[in-house]
Structure 1
């Protein structure tokens, strides 16, 4: 049995949904289908989830939200009419919106339920359309599917008790269409996963039914070795390990949320990334292990929006508890960190900019000065992180030399190097303004020369 997940671009309109139905029809082993909310139909369009968030925010702020409701319903009406299926589904979607808005629950829980309407509606529409084509299909709510999650609005985690319940779905004979992105707590409260949540749902279902393959359909033929917006026509990656994909996702690859593959990874279920618009292409296969390749570097990921907190104090290494006290200050201000390279007298903490506000930054700086008495404390903004990823990279001589030479040739100053923290990656911190020439030079060295 296979699990196939279709992203927002794959269910954006009736034309795309027809492609989805044909993909399902061509392979009877695709018994479990997970769908996202409709995405953008064109570059200047809105995702349905974004429309729902606007509606929820307007409701929370006691503003007029009727226009947002009408816009959401228009999107679904267009799809339903084009597919020539029953308009009863549209009435059901409208009733769901009204019912969710009228629920007497905390606002963060209500907003989760509002955001989930997009995926839920997609699943109802697709299951109805499959039936209209003569395929036996059923919509399956995540509660019925057995997706039991923690009570954390917007950041739900799957609970272990889910998997035995999900496994019983193997006994169902029809195609099951399941909305992604959300589950239910033990006491029946709807909770959404974090960003990329539909990928998480697909991975959970694949792990629960012990699928032979988890297919993730998107709008690209495969994963590329580097961001195609930076390097024209980059090489495709035919296979990756879970560790490589997780590192690339964490460092900026947008194909997967970095947490999405964990359920599949734990069950050693292979994952393939395929294109809804070109389904016969092999795509990129993600597996637990793969044969060693001549080029151990598989990809170069990058992301912007980082700052470095730099703290220096003479004989810091001899001062017991210095690092712990510094991180306790960050923790008490609800600031998480990404990396922390250190020296004898120096400690740097890499923080995502969205963790900091000017107020928090001022508080943290003042507390460090008062509580740790450093010689120097400062924050550098506008940093970018570049990660070179590949299994076996640390066992290959000369990788660091090739990377630093490439950055030198691009006239890029290296602010930070983090090597050895992971056996599959090497990270460089540079100024955000230098990211394009840096990536282009690294790609030339590792994939063209």
Structure 2
């Protein structure tokens, strides 16, 4: 029994949905289908969810919103017409949007409900289409499926009581098509997961029904060892562990939302990443454990948009509570941190740029000077992070030497190195403008030579 999740590119238009239909038809064990909202049909296109967000923002701020409504309805009308299914679904979509706009609910909840309409509509369309090609399928709302979540608009968390309810779905004979991205609270309020949350729904359903495999269909044949926009034709990764995938996702790999695998991970359900446009290719398999003989370093991820808060004080290591006081200052300014490598007299805090602005930076620096009396305190901007990922790295000699040699060869200055906080990754901080040549050189060392 498999759970198959189809991403935005897989349901972007009628042509793609027909491919999805064939994939489901070709394997009778694909009993649970989770779908995203229609994504981009080409690189210059729009995602339906983005237009729904624009519609909601316009409505809330008393600005014209009917143009957004027309764009959304036209997109779904084209899909429904090309699939030759009932136009009743189209009227249902329009009625749902209008109904949400009239809700007497908080703005946050109203916007959450609007965002969810893309996934909900995809599920209704696909289930109807599957029946026209000879498959017995039903649309199942997250409420009826038993996806119960916390009352946190835009950041809902799955509640444990969901899983026994989901398990009962195994008794259903037909194919069940479930919209991703949202669930319902115990009081019946609709709440969305964080952006990219359809992957989370797929993982939750797979864990709940105890699937033999969770298939995540996207528009790439597999996960690649590095970003293909930086390295031409990089090698594919055939097998990954959950820990490796989570580290890669966190560090910039865009195949998965970095929280998505947690439910599947807890149930040790293997995850297969496959291509809707090329479904015969094996793809990448994500498992709990893999054989020791497999390659140590599996991937190199990178991301930009970081700053470093650098604090130096002589004998910092002997000053009780220094680190706690520093992080309390960040907490007061609602700033979370990513990493914090330290030395005897120095401490660096890596922060994503979206956590900071000029006003916050000024307040943080002022409080640190007043409360901690450091010798030096400053913020470095324009930092990029590179993460080398692989199980067994801590027990393999020469990984750090290979990496630093590659960066030296590329004439890249290392601003920060963090090894030891994770047994599956090694992190380097460099200037953002050096990211492409750094990745190319590291790829050559670990995967070409």
Shift of 1:195: 1.8
* 1:154 maps to 2:154: yes
Partner of 1:345: 345
User: 1: distance between equivalents of 2:45 and 2:374?
Assistant: 50
Instruction: Give the Å deviation of 1:348.
Output: 0.3
CA pair 228-333 structure 1, distance change in 2 beyond 3 A: same
CA distance in 1: counterparts of 2:260 and 2:96, whole angstroms: 28
Structure 1 equivalent of residue 262 of structure 2: 262
Residue aligning to 1:47: 47
> Aligned ranges for residues 103-182 of structure 1 at < 5 Å?
103-182=103-182
Q: What secondary structure does 1:214 align onto?
A: strand
| Shift in Å, 1:20 | 0.1
State how far apart, in whole Å, the 2-side matches of 1:32 and 1:242 are: 22
Encode CA deviations 1:369-428: one digit per residue, 9 max, x unaligned.
Answer: 111111111000000000000000110000000000000000000000000100000000
* Paired position in structure 2 for 1:76: 76
- 1:279 matched to which residue of 2? 279
Alignment deviations for residues 118-147 of structure 1 (CA, whole Å, 9 cap, x no partner):
000000000000011121100000000000
Deviating runs (4+, > 3 A) in structure 1? none
Aligned-partner SS, 2:74: helix
Matched, 1:305 2:291: no
Is 1:14 aligned to residue 37 of structure 2? no
SS in 2 for 1:215: strand
2:88 match: 88
Q: Which residue of 2 aligns with 1:215?
A: 215
Partners of 1:301 and 1:13 in 2: CA distance: 31
Alpha-carbon separation, structure 1, partners of 2:294 and 2:22: 38
1:80-117, Cα deviation, whole Å (9 max, x unpaired)? 00000000000000000000111111111111101000
2:227 and 2:313 mapped to 1: Cα distance?
A: 39
Partners of 1:71 and 1:357 lie apart in 2 by 35
Structure 1: distance between partners of 2:12 and 2:28: 24
5 Å matches for 1:280-295?
A: 280-295=280-295
The aligned counterpart of 1:372 is 372
Deviation at 1:306, TM superposition (A): 0.2
Give the RMSD, CA atoms, in angstroms.
Answer: 0.6
Greater CA drift, 367-376 or 412-421: 367-376
1:412 maps to which residue?
412
Q: SS state of the match for residue 54, structure 1?
A: helix
Give 1:251 deviation, angstroms. Answer: 0.4
Shift of 1:293: 3.1
SS of alignment partner, residue 158 of structure 1: coil
With 152-161 and 287-296 compared, the bigger mean Cα shift is at: 287-296
State the number of aligned residues: 449
The corresponding residue for 1:34 is: 34
CA distance in 1, matches of 2:264, 2:114: 28
TM-score by length of 1: 0.99
Aligned to 2:196: 196
CA distance in 2, matches of 1:409, 1:423: 26
Give the distance between the partners of 1:296 and 1:423, measured in 2 at CA.
12
Give 2:328's aligned residue: 328
Partner of 1:230: 230
Cα distance in 1 between the residues matched to 2:426 and 2:17: 40
TM-score scaled by length of structure 2: 0.99
Cα distance in structure 2, aligned partners of 1:318 and 1:196: 44
Q: Residue in 1 aligned with 2:435? A: 435
**CA distance, structure 1, for counterparts of residue 174 and residue 297 of structure 2:** 43
SS of 1:5's equivalent?
strand
Q: Which runs of 5+ in 2 are unaligned?
A: none
| 1: CA distance, partners of 2:154 / 2:293 | 39
Task: Write out aligned runs for 1:369-408 (5 A).
Answer: 369-408=369-408
Give the superposition deviation at 1:43.
Answer: 1.1
Structure 2 match to 1:245: 245
Deviation at 1:360, TM superposition (A): 1.1
